[in-house]
Amino acid sequence: MQLTVNTSKPYNIFIERGCLDTLGGRCAALFPAGAKAAVISDSNVFPLYGERVLASLRAAGFAPSRFVFPAGEASKQLSTVGEMLGFLAEQGLTRSDFLVALGGGVTGDMAGFAAACYLRGVSFVQAPTSLLAQVDSSVGGKTAVDLPQGKNLAGAFHQPALVLIDPDTLETLPPLFFADGMGEVIKYGCIRSRTLFETLRDAGSLAPLMESILFDCVDCKRVIVEHDEFDTGERMLLNFGHTLGHALEKAHGYTGLTHGAAVGIGMVLIARLGEHMGLTQAGTAEQIAAVLRKYGLPVSDDASLDEVIRATALDKKGLGGDLRIVLLRSIGESFVHRLPRAEFAALCRASLAPEGAR
């Protein structure tokens, strides 16, 4: 399966079993013979796939090196990117060379940010190995790191030169992280495709459907990104569940609650808020919760509501004193709604606080 993303810098996405072994050949069509290639990966993924990717690059005539960082969201910070940039300089990479992001969303976000910063911009290839990265973060050119004040607050738009999605890598994904990715898969059904949502709701097994699910999610994101490359309008729909989800991640100190789990809870909460406002069809939140439960994802959290509301202060969809939140009219139909921050906080307390606390 192949898709082309027609942004300011067009690129191809291949969804193909075993395509990690063809990475070098695909890159040979894009980069000059003998170019240097820095493979960026983490301590969990590189032992599984790193040597295959290095071998593929060598066979295609490239000179690869590797940078491996400790796995986990805790590494997604400016200091790690600083180490990457120092490594790239030590390796003598130039603007005719490229990076390969081999791993999940943390790897892709950081490697892409390093590529955007190094020499004011070098090319990079996305080789996502987690479900979350395959359906979402590897496509669209958003790169970022976390700050103590919030998630993904330092970053850049930098489109990849190529995305290679190998569904076989999902077979080595621990159940927790497969469920993590399902949070984003379910999101696509919520915002754009009732058909996808119902497929997920009714499926007995995802295994025979996996490639078509990957394609549907990536194609949905492709269309939205082509319409709004720099996240000023329609692309905000991709953040359904993320305003409160990111706030939950921050409340947990980015440990113990995966991104997909946080987004899932955030989707349920924001749907409840929309129902309270009369903007979302009644029963939508429970429909979402039922599908999340089916795939082993939580639908609630014990974090303090006030702490979560405070953590939305630096939400990237904010505009001055207002917050733009993504709501559903019903499953498959989403829209952006603008609210003053104080009104958003009051609505959260009215619709989301436990009965005795309202």
Element (H, E) at 132: helix 131-132
Which pLDDT belongs to residue 320?
Answer: 61
Q: Which residue has the higher pLDDT, 96 or 358?
A: 96
Q: Which residues contact 156 (CB under 8 A, 6 or more apart)?
A: 112, 113, 116, 117, 143, 144
Question: If you average pLDDT over residues 86-113, what whole number do you get?
Answer: 96
SS3 39: strand
User: Does 1.20.1090.10 match the CATH number of domain 175-357?
Assistant: yes
Which pLDDT belongs to residue 103?
Answer: 97
pLDDT tens for 225-238 read: 999 998 888 999 99
Q: Report the alpha-carbon distance of residue 272 to residue 275 in Å, rounded.
A: 5
Which pLDDT belongs to residue 308?
Answer: 87
pLDDT tens for 34-45 read: 999 999 999 999
Whether pLDDT at 10 is above 70: yes
Q: Report the alpha-carbon distance of residue 81 to residue 77 in Å, rounded.
A: 7
Q: Which residue has the higher pLDDT, 267 or 307?
A: 267
Q: Report the alpha-carbon distance of residue 182 to residue 176 in Å, rounded.
A: 10
Per-chain mean pLDDT for the chain: 92
Question: If you average pLDDT over residues 276-298, what whole number do you get?
Answer: 96
Which pLDDT belongs to residue 356?
Answer: 42
pLDDT tens for 308-340 read: 888 887 655 555 678 899 999 999 999 999 999
DSSP 8-state secondary structure symbol assigned to residue 309: H
Which pLDDT belongs to residue 143?
Answer: 95
Q: Report the alpha-carbon distance of residue 317 to residue 322 in Å, rounded.
A: 9
Which pLDDT belongs to residue 226?
Answer: 94
DSSP 8-state secondary structure symbol assigned to residue 232: S
* Residue in the structure block whose two tokens are 């009369």: 278
Q: Report the alpha-carbon distance of residue 70 to residue 53 in Å, rounded.
A: 19
Whether pLDDT at 349 is above 70: yes
Residues 163, 4 contacting (CB under 8 angstroms): no
Q: Report the alpha-carbon distance of residue 347 to residue 48 in Å, rounded.
A: 46
Q: What percent of the chain has pLDDT over 90?
A: 78
Whether pLDDT at 357 is above 50: no
Q: Report the alpha-carbon distance of residue 145 to residue 311 in Å, rounded.
A: 17
Amino acid at position 164, single letter:
L
The Cβ of residue 255 has, within 10 Å, a number of other Cβ atoms equal to 10
Which pLDDT belongs to residue 97?
Answer: 97
Report the range of poorest mean pLDDT among 56-65, 125-134, 241-250.
241-250
Residues 322, 315 contacting (CB under 8 angstroms): no
Which pLDDT belongs to residue 313?
Answer: 72
Token code pair at residue 88: 């790239």
Which pLDDT belongs to residue 12?
Answer: 96
Q: Report the alpha-carbon distance of residue 200 to residue 324 in Å, rounded.
A: 28
pLDDT tens for 69-94 read: 999 888 999 999 999 999 999 999 99
Q: Report the alpha-carbon distance of residue 39 to residue 57 in Å, rounded.
A: 10
Q: How confident is the model at residue 250 (pLDDT cuts 50, 70, 90)?
A: confident
Token code pair at residue 341: 């921050």
Where are the chain's structural domains? 2-172, 175-357
Q: With CA atoms as reference, report the closest residue to 186 among 103, 261, 250.
A: 261
Q: Which residue has the higher pLDDT, 38 or 347?
A: 38
pLDDT tens for 153-184 read: 999 999 999 999 999 999 999 999 899 999 99
Query: 215 — phi, psi (to 5°)?
Result: -60, -45
Which pLDDT belongs to residue 59?
Answer: 96
DSSP 8-state secondary structure symbol assigned to residue 281: -
Please provide the DSSP assignment of 56-118 as one string: HHHHTT-EEEEEEE-SSGGG-SHHHHHHHHHHHHHHT--TT-EEEEEESHHHHHHHHHHHHHG
Q: Which fold has domain 2-172?
A: Rossmann fold (3.40.50)
Q: Which residue has the higher pLDDT, 65 or 207?
A: 65
Which pLDDT belongs to residue 289?
Answer: 97
